[in-house]
A and B are shown apart, each in its own frame.
Chain A
Amino acid sequence: MKAVCWNGRNNVTVEDVPDPKLINPRDAIVRVTSTAICGSDLHLYDGYVPSMMKGDILGHEFMGEVVEVGSGVKNLNVGDRVIVPFPIACGNCYFCKNGLWALCDNSNPNAHLAETMYGHSPAGIFGYSHLTGGYAGGQAEYVRVPFADVGPFKIENGFRDEQVLFLTDVFPTGYMAAENGNIQPGDVVAVWGCGPVGQLAIQSAWTFNPSRVIAIDRYPERLAMAEKYGRAETINYEGVDVVETLKQMTGGMGPDVCIDAVGMEAHKHGLEGYYDRAKQAVRIETDRPYVLRECIQACRKGGTISLAGVYGGFVDTIPMGAAFNKGLTLKMGQTHVHRYLQPLFAMIESGQIDPSFIVTHIFPLEDAPDAYEIFKHKVDGCVKVVMKPD
């Protein structure tokens, strides 16, 4: 089969690899009909996630048709159309039973590596480094899905792939960002980053009845998308002081809820930008935390910061004193996708939210190398890329 393989920094290729096989009784094989490139795939593409190996198959946002099920999978049949959550969860451990699916205790075969780095191991994730299991990803014609009796969510026909595909990651991630923000009616919500997660965090934020949503980015087409689909006020951070602007826009209070939909590869002009890039280059820090710093500065006293953008390693110079003395709450983590499938699918079904508006580019899988470049450099107004293996 054809699969998108990681070969190193800025280097992915489409390779002929063997088809996946059932390995464990609770596995299923899915023929992929649509797969997306996630913003977090760019962290891999840019070489900022440890323990990637040449030849790893990428992709954790995918859906398709079940073509084979293991003896332990009783709730799926060959031919079922499913979307597959990006974290792999067993459904049996303490964490799964408590709805913390992305923290599953049992799904990471390389748990000892993650324990060395993080103290404990999070769940396995498709196509996302050996630290989270080294599972082959879904940017391929076929993919093996472990614990297939727990993760895959059946979609009856009637919805286009693009409408339901984002239930695998970015829609629940945006929604959990809003939920973690503990938005109260009338609150002002600020969202850093107007990529796919930011757009869906804006959409989700409105379901908690805030009075305003303010979106921050530097790409006019992304800001326009946030205005058009997300009814957001916008700040283009090129040439303005975001913290001061937010303060002015909120009568000096600052936003009640700050959502970081950017993560470890934030961009910043000026001295601070060079400072972190230099440290990252010599591996003193792995993640560039500009957005987190701005969130802490901007947030209303006693407010909440919700991190949806991925962090992987270490950050420096976090204004902890500001966070402490302003009494801020910080919430974060990989998304417990399984928890949100049913309620968010209901929103799509009722027409309340149609996440397909984020799709700007559709490519055949063979064009993955170009697709990564276009998405990375945001060429041609690119916000979200979907690839079709056919």
Chain B
Amino acid sequence: METKMNRPITHRPNVGSAERGISLAAGLAMFSYILTRRPDAKISIPLGLEAGYMIYRGATGNCVFYRMLEINRAEHGIYAKRSVTISLPREQLYRIWRNFENLPRFMNHLQRVDVDEATGGTRSHWVSRAPLGREVQWEAEMTEERENEFIAWRSLPGSTVQSLGSVRFEDAPAGRGTIVTVEMEYNPPAGSMGAAFAKLFGEEPSQQLRDDLRHFKQMMETGEVPSVEGQPSGRSKEFGRSIPERQRQEDLVEEASAESFPASDPPAWISGRKNRKRVTS
């Protein structure tokens, strides 16, 4: 399946489909005007150029002006781009990333990646978590690799989930280490499995990527990912340690934070109690 996914990220469409239709129609209309009315050269040459550009814009979905203005109105799947500065040399970070089997150690949605050594590590099998204990799998291949600088990968044509990603390693200024920039895109399949997969990333996929990159940084800089999972509290009796419970507890922390901002509401924040009653202690 040859799709837009196979092109480098910078050459993919940035015009929405409705707008592409309008561009195409306008271009053809201008072109037919020139052909039927035959205006003089002062009008027909610029109009002809404009018509040609509109037809190109409509047909390919590429708009050079949008690109210059960094506007992207193309409908795409789950897309995110984030950077993080890690105080380690490029080589060290590149080495870890080059082996995709390491990615699930810090990427929350990935369960497992198996690299096919026979291909020199360029082909791999990815298994991603999906809600309700399901999983989504696809095959991927490395499409570009510049040592200690850049790695790009994409899913193979025909995969359930179309995915595209790249990571760039650049020296940070003043000896601060390396700036790691990751760009990822997923086009989940239609249907319930696709919807479930999309749900993994929530409404803010870039936040997911930000957390993943933070975990990568923590893992690389400190050798571990800080956690308070399983520590005691006065709630210990209420919370088990199973994964759904853990997720629930994380959600509770999020909710408590949002609900208690800008300050803890007396007498205490309690889950789901939107209309808090004041209780005297």
B265 in contact with A47 (CB, 8 Å): yes
Interface secondary structure of A, over-half rule: loop
B224 in contact with A9 (CB, 8 Å): no
Could you tell me the distance between the alpha carbons of A135 and B257 in the complex, rounded to whole angstroms? 15
A130 in contact with B256 (CB, 8 Å): yes
Contact of B232 among A3, A44, A90, A92 (CB under 8 A): A3
Task: Report the stretch among A11-19, A219-227, A346-354 that lies at the interface.
Answer: A11-19
A11 in contact with B267 (CB, 8 Å): yes
Could you tell me the distance between the alpha carbons of A57 and B223 in the complex, rounded to whole angstroms? 27
A138 within 8 A of B: no
Task: Report the stretch among B6-14, B31-39, B61-69, B211-219 that lies at the interface.
Answer: B211-219
CB of B11 to closest CB in A, whole Å: 33
| Interface size grouping (class) on chain A | 35 or more
Could you tell me the distance between the alpha carbons of A326 and B103 in the complex, rounded to whole angstroms? 54
B231 in contact with A11 (CB, 8 Å): no
Could you tell me the distance between the alpha carbons of A342 and B235 in the complex, rounded to whole angstroms? 37
Please indicate the chain B residues that have their CB under 8 angstroms from the CB of A147 in the complex. 222
Could you tell me the distance between the alpha carbons of A144 and B229 in the complex, rounded to whole angstroms? 12
Could you tell me the distance between the alpha carbons of A19 and B230 in the complex, rounded to whole angstroms? 10
Known: A72-B224, A106-B226. A49 touches B233 (CB 8 A): no
CB of A264 to closest CB in B, whole Å: 10
A9 in contact with B227 (CB, 8 Å): no
CB of A1 to closest CB in B, whole Å: 7
Contact of B268 among A11, A106, A113 (CB under 8 A): A11
Please indicate the chain A residues that have their CB under 8 angstroms from the CB of B223 in the complex. 25-26, 72
B247 within 8 A of A: no
What is B's interface to A at a CB cutoff of 8 Å?
Answer: 85, 87, 176-177, 207, 210-211, 214, 217-218, 221-236, 238, 252-254, 256-257, 260-270, 279, 281
A-B contact pairs, 25 of them (CB 8 A): A7-B281, A8-B279, A8-B281, A9-B281, A10-B281, A17-B232, A17-B233, A17-B236, A23-B229, A24-B227, A26-B223, A49-B263, A50-B257, A51-B253, A51-B261, A55-B236, A57-B233, A93-B222, A105-B221, A109-B226, A112-B207, A129-B264, A283-B263, A286-B262, A286-B263
